Amino acid sequence: MQSARKPDPSTIIIFGAGGDLCWRKLMPAIYNLYLDDWVPDNFAVIGLDIKEMSDDEFRQRILDGVNQFSRRGKANESDWNKFASSLNYQKADFTNEETYKKLSDKILSIENPWGKKSNRIFYLAIPPAFIEAITKNLSLSKIAQDDLRDRLVIEKPFGHDLESARELNNVIKNTFDECQIYRIDHYLGKETVQNMIAFRFANALFEPIWNRNFIDHVQITVAEEVGVEHRGSYYDHAGALRDMIQNHILQLLCLTAMEPPVSFSADEVRNKKVDVLRAIRKYTRDDVHRNAVRGQYNNGWMEGQKVISYKEEPGVNSKSNIETFAAVKFYVDNWRWQDVPFYVRTGKRLSQKTSVITIQFRPVPHSAFPNETIENWQPNRLIINIQPEMGIRIRFQAKQPGLKMLMTPVDMVFNYGSAYTAEPPEAYETLLLDVMLGDATLFMRSDQVEAAWELIMPIIEAWESNPPVDFPNYFAGTWGPEAAEALIARDGKNWLVLPMPINNSK
């Protein structure tokens, strides 16, 4: 959502700088911002973690991450050397006051020569258990005192349930004002997700038909081929509902269903999204079995390789009842969407990596064509591909060339790769720049997070009080459990066949 200005002088203080997130995502993103000339002239990163490391060792580790994970590939030596001088490291115990005294001295020694007020961005890339100690100590040590320039960035998971999310909000609000808090949902930084706002509200074409009069139903699929990778011990306490639906998928639903904002101010956009969350029908525990389905992957074959079942993954309890697949039917009870089902599904070890939103329109009210001309007839469909295909397709009927009147569905395609030459930034580049600029539009406000938890709590509670009897219930490499097919088939619909990926490269 950024404008074309560069941020003010900024110091980014990363708690958990020795971890994976910093290595794979944050620092490659900051380095790309630097290469694209978005980083201010007065700029520094201070990494904190429990490990002993010198500045040079930290820089070497970060370089290694950039070389492996940056969208630009290996760093060029002279650019890197200029950038690396702004990286600093401090060994730190996050619960110890001394850490914060040292940190304060370090920040001052960096910022004083700049002679200007600077933004301080405290990035918490750490397990939630440390959040309270860090925010308290930042306040006690008076490092974070400027309401306008000091900002706190928090990664998900934001709480484990509604109660813990509320507690967490209370804890951080003791030190930071809501307008200083940037809760990350990295989906909101994705180029194609931001484009949903442009698509819906910068075009006059779609808005008049974006409602229950024309739309039959909406499907949101966020499918992954990977299993839980090295995150088994986290995932086994989370599951697909908490890991994907409470945040990423509900955000995609909000962007699809929200009313047009009056302006693009952070609060206006977020107000409109909260309105959607509040309008989503709250299920009772009894409603859950009709509207939600869970699954867990068994072993299977993916791309010719045998893969293990969820229960055999490292860090996972061998008797785990945690779901690696979830599908839910939601309703948005308001004037625009009454009775239009929103089917969402997500899972690990599914047959294809794809995130896609499909808007299925209603059939034509009357067909004037004889049956034999419309054998392959399909209602109009708008397919918004978030990843890996990036683009939008509109499916409509066309007359097949020939002497007979025969109709087949065809696609009109907008594809990022062929429409633009510039490579899109990574989600973290967009989000980190927005934090430096003080633009919170793409971040989760406390009421949004809590409203999302409120919605999924009945599902969590119903599932926890009623352990599954059929896990594992889908094989790796398939589209999930049969019950997910039944969920949508009961309404006379089916999960829509996904279009083949198209090449995004130029």
CA distance 258 to 218: 13
DSSP state of 442: T
Nearer Cβ to ligand BG6 (106/345): 345
Output the residue with the shortest Cβ distance to ligand BG6: 243
Bridge partners (DSSP) listed for residue 346: 222, 326
Whichever of 149 and 156 has its CB closer to ligand BG6, that residue is 156
Q: Does 313 bind ligand BG6 (CB under 6 A)?
A: no
> Is residue 272 helix, strand or coil?
helix
- Quick check: 97 and 127 in contact, CB under 8 A? no
Q: Tell me, by CB under 6 A, how many residues bind ligand BG6.
A: 3
Number of C-alpha atoms within 13 angstroms, CB side, residue 413? 18
Residue 243 as a binder of ligand BG6 (CB under 6 A): the answer is: yes
CB nearer to ligand BG6: give 137 or 358.
Answer: 358
Residues known to be catalytic: 248
Q: How far is the CB of 185 from ligand BG6 (least distance, A)?
A: 8
Is the CB of 138 or the CB of 442 nearer to ligand BG6? 442
DSSP-assigned letter for residue 230:
T
Find the largest Cα–Cα distance for the chain.
84
Query: 143 or 350, CB closer to ligand BG6?
Result: 350
As measured in angstroms, the least distance from the Cβ of 156 to ligand BG6 is 6
Taking the complex as a whole, how short is the minimal distance between the CB of residue 487 and ligand BG6, in angstroms? 22
**Measuring CA to CA, how many Å separate 272 from each of 35, 63, 212, 358, 418?**
35, 41, 18, 21, 33
SS (H, E, C) 324-351: CEEEEEEEECCCCCCCCEEEEEEECCEC
* Gap between the Cα atoms of 237 and 467, Å rounded: 14
Smallest separation (angstroms) from ligand BG6 to the CB of 83: 25
From residue 146 to residue 165, the character string flagging contacts with ligand BG6 as x (rule: CB under 6 A) and all else as - is ----------x---------
- Phi then psi for residue 325, to 5 deg, are -140, 140
Query: Which residues ranging from 430 to 459 are in contact with ligand BG6 (CB under 6 A)?
Result: none
- Our CB check for ligand BG6 shows the closer of 191 and 243 to be 243
Angle of CA points 161, 323, 477, to nearest 5°: 145
CB of 243 to ligand BG6, least distance (A): 5
Closest CA to 176 of 434, 446, 452: 446
Minimum distance, C-beta of residue 246 to ligand BG6, in the bound complex (Å):
10
Q: How far is CA 306 from the centre of its chain?
A: 29
- Strand-strand pairing, 474-476 and 10-15: unpaired
Q: Which helix or strand (DSSP H or E) is residue 81 part of?
A: helix 77-84
Unique residue bearing structure tokens 């490391």: 53
* Shortest Å distance, C-beta 342 to ligand BG6: 19
Do residues 124 and 152 make contact, with C-beta atoms less than 8 angstroms apart? yes
DSSP 8-state assignment for residue 112:
G
Instruction: Report the residue number, 224 or 429, with the smaller CB distance to ligand BG6.
Output: 224
Q: State the nearest-atom distance from the C-beta of 175 to ligand BG6, in Å.
A: 25
Name, in order, each residue with C-beta under 8 angstroms of 274's C-beta and a sequence gap of 6 or more: 445, 447, 448, 451
**Residues 99-138, mask of contacts with ligand BG6 (x by CB under 6 A):** ----------------------------------------
At position 434, the amino acid (one-letter code) is: D
Q: Closest approach of Cβ 157 to ligand BG6, in Å?
A: 8
Q: Which is nearer to ligand BG6, 135 or 354 (CB)?
A: 354
Nearest-angstrom CA–CA distance, 48 and 12? 11
Side chain identity at residue 126, one-letter code? I
Q: How far apart (Å, rounded) are the C-alpha atoms in residues 298 and 291?
A: 23
Q: Is 323 an interacting residue with respect to ligand BG6 (CB under 6 A)?
A: no
Helical ranges in 386-490 per DSSP H: 416-419, 427-437, 446-465, 482-489
The correct pick among 150, 191, 224, 323 for binding ligand BG6 (CB under 6 A) is 224
- Compare residues 21 and 308 and give the one whose CB is closer to ligand BG6: 21
Q: Which residues bind ligand BG6 (CB under 6 A)?
A: 156, 224, 243
